[in-house]
Amino acid sequence: MSTDAAHKSASQGGNGGDEHFEPRILVFCCNWCSYAGADLAGVSRLQMPPYFRVIRTMCSARVDPEFIMRAFQKGADGVLVAGCHPADCHYIGGNYRTRRRMALMKVLLQQFGFDPDRLRLEWVSAGEGEKFQKTIIEFTNTIKELGVSPMKGGE
Amino acid sequence: MADPARTKEEERKGIAVYLCSCRNEIGRHVDLEAIAEGLKKDPRVVTVGVHEALCSNEGQEYLKDELRSKKFERVAVGACSPNIQGLIVSRALEEEGMNRYLFEQVNIREQCAWVHPEKKEATRKAKSLVKSAIARAEKLQPLEDIIIPIKDSTLIIGGGVSGMQAALDIAAAGYKVYLVERTDELGGRTYKLSMTFPTHNCGICCIQYCRECVFTPKIEDVLQDKNIEVMLNSEVEEMTGGFGARHVRIKTPKGPREVDVGTIIVATGSKTFDPKRIPELRYGHPNVISTTELEQILVAQREKGGGIRRPLDGKVPKTVNFIQCVGSRDKTKGNAHCSLVCCTYAIGQAREIKKINPDAAVYIHYIDLRGPYRGFEEFYNAAKEEGINFVRGRVSEVVVDKDKTYVRAADTDSDTLLNIDSDLIVLAVGQEPADGSDQIAKILHIQTDIDRFMKDINPMFPSEFRRGIYVAGTAQGPKGIRYSIEEAKSAAASAIDLMKKGKTKFPRIVAFVDEERCRGCGRCEKTCEYEAITVVPDPKRGVLVSRIDEIRCEGCGACAVACCNKAIKVNGYRLEQVEAMVTELSEEEVTSDE
């Protein structure tokens, strides 16, 4: 959790206390690892908060910064990018590009007045249904604490 | 507007939406009828249908009937994961004449119905997902599959048992085989073994047709086969071209050789772990040898007789200790993986020592005994009956004191520490990828796993590692001879199958360049992992443009993101196609009316 989110939830309860806040979370999953990991979570019936929506791309390296910016512009409260673990990319090195790109995206988001924690990168392999569930629960909690996106009038 | 052809085309523009209840697996958690009702108001949607199982025979017939009667162009489906039954559904529509690139399926089972218990929430999510599928389906473009010819020749890299078996099978089917071997002889590591499991008899050290090895590949057969061209002392240096017609440059003692092949089988095998990496085992002392060195002693004894003698002074060893898992299952100094074959071969060697020298005390120090092979249990029991001592526990170190060597080990069964005065210590070394296999993986664009072995796309399903490239034997991971040969035969069968067809088709989910927009900066060329992109001068306009070889392209889309001028697009994942989904899902109405 970033400092301002912690501060907000500590000082005034933030939007985290808002029972009715239903965040919109976009999840980009690579076809080979993370999408299969998300499917495994489903097959294993691992229950998760219902606010995330998965978009499949062939590789996490196909997640154009434009997609992320578009998501925030259109009102998403959080974006999660999930890809194969390092040294495990179906496309040899796509995930390394994603890693570098996401680090820059976080800086960029801050420039636009978004908390960088609204964007998260996670490695989820095809066998990690539980990790997918854990990631979704954690990220949903983070976004709930951060509250409504500044694009929709949140702070 | 009056043009009837145009009107007909427009008429077909609509999107049909089908929701699958999955025999109530989805229907139980998601109110599909309510979603269908809501979607009917959408002007883009021409028809909405709910079916109990689209992937069933009835479901497929239903879809075909719908396509015949309702004249739509595109389909959006909300059902299970497209990676699970998606192909069946789109294939049914394709059979009826629909372009399958105009089909979009979203996952409302694994990622919705099964993970969200609240029906209201799940329904809302499913609705937004289906709407995003419609948004994307609207932007999809009809495409044709790529059809390419496959050349009728094979390159096999590695001349061990796997490579030889694959070569024999493919040559027998009438195809040309180029067999490249790095060393100066065929046979690989198996050729150096004195005996093999489970017959506990000779390996393939000879070329005679013994009963035990009549089914293993033989060097003479490979050398005499007219369809097989063997290149010894040779290495693969470079691969260009794409699926179906790969151009490979091979460094041979006679100078470079270039071949064109339709399929490639990688059988680069493994090597044994270097026990010097674990200094406390004192490898290098004459009394401490590896199992491969013991093999050579056993081969020599078989050929010349004279019993087993230790290298230090030629004495017959009275106490022999085998240390298992040297370099395996050891994250600190070795490899994390289990090498699978060491328990089996160490027991075989121990039995051989006991057979030649029944008075010797033989110990095997093990962590777990693992022999996932038919006949292993009997093999192990026979060893116990012959008086071989199995000691469970790790060996802490080998101590050298003047001319004596001691093994310090724990016996966890009796909870004691042992200090065994040992004449001969044998280190059961594990397997790791062969030298140069990293290089081969790089040249062929095969991914490697955490242990640097070549990695399957799906670990449960043996298949191509890349289009037209197969891996057989220990290049994929440690395994025994029989399993290596099995893999070689299966790889050969797949390669033969592909070459027999002479051509193949694959989806045109590949990147392409809008040359008007391209600035020729070369970022994409650097990004591509498959060397599918080259920046070339365009003589007509006198500028640099990048060109993508769609046969080499794997469709990952990394270049499209790297492009500074949005000149590269990826079929099926174009900017507008993904953004349609992003927009739909981000803008989703919070207030739900269901």
Q: Is the pLDDT of residue B206 over 90?
A: no
Tell me whether residues A50 and B124 touch, CB distance under 8 A: yes
Mutation target vs A (from B125, B556, B577; most A CBs, 10 A cutoff): B556
| Tokens read off for B363 | 């110990």
Kindly report each contact of residues B297-304 with a partner whose C-beta sits within 8 Å and lies 24 or more positions away, as own/partner.
B298/B194, B298/B195, B298/B349, B298/B352, B299/B192, B299/B194, B299/B205, B301/B356, B302/B194, B302/B202
- pLDDT at position B1 is 42
Q: Is the pLDDT of residue B251 over 70?
A: yes
pLDDT in tens, B488-522: 999 999 999 999 999 998 899 999 999 999 999 99
| Of the partner residues B114, B447, B578, the one whose CB lies closest to the CB of residue A67 | B578
Mutation target vs A (from B578, B588, B591, B594; most A CBs, 10 A cutoff): B578
- pLDDT at position A18 is 57
Min Cα separation A142/chain B (Å):
18
pLDDT in tens, chain A (155 residues): 444 444 444 334 444 445 678 999 999 999 989 999 999 999 999 999 999 999 999 999 999 999 999 999 999 999 999 999 987 888 888 999 999 999 999 999 999 999 999 999 999 998 899 999 999 999 999 999 999 999 887 66
Q: Is the pLDDT of residue B218 over 60?
A: yes
- Asked if the domains at B153-269+434-500 and B280-431 fall in one CATH topology, the answer is yes
Percent of chain B residues past pLDDT 90, beyond the cut: 73
pLDDT in tens, B139-170: 999 999 999 999 999 999 999 999 999 999 99
* Rg for chain A, CA atoms, rounded: 15
- pLDDT at position B376 is 92
The residues spanned by each domain of chain B are: 4-143, 153-269+434-500, 280-431, 511-570
Q: Is the pLDDT of residue B594 over 90?
A: no
Q: Is the pLDDT of residue B463 over 90?
A: no
Instruction: Give ipTM to 2 decimals.
Output: 0.89
The CATH topology of domain B280-431 is: FAD/NAD(P)-binding domain (3.50.50)
Q: Which carries the bigger pLDDT value, residue B593 or residue B186? A: B186
Look over chain B and give the mean of its residue pLDDT values, rounded to a whole number.
90
Q: Is the pLDDT of residue B593 over 90?
A: no
> CB within 8 A of B372, min separation 6: which ones?
B340
Q: Give the pLDDT band of residue B591 (cuts 50, 70, 90).
A: very low
The CATH topology of domain B4-143 is: Rossmann fold (3.40.50)
Tell me whether residues A91 and B529 touch, CB distance under 8 A: yes
Q: Which of chain B's residues have a Cβ under 8 Å away from the Cβ of A76?
A: 582, 585-586
The CATH topology of domain B153-269+434-500 is: FAD/NAD(P)-binding domain (3.50.50)
The CATH topology of domain B511-570 is: Alpha-Beta Plaits (3.30.70)
Min Cα separation A46/chain B (Å):
6
User: Are A90 and A33 contacting, i.e. CB atoms less than 8 angstroms apart?
Assistant: yes
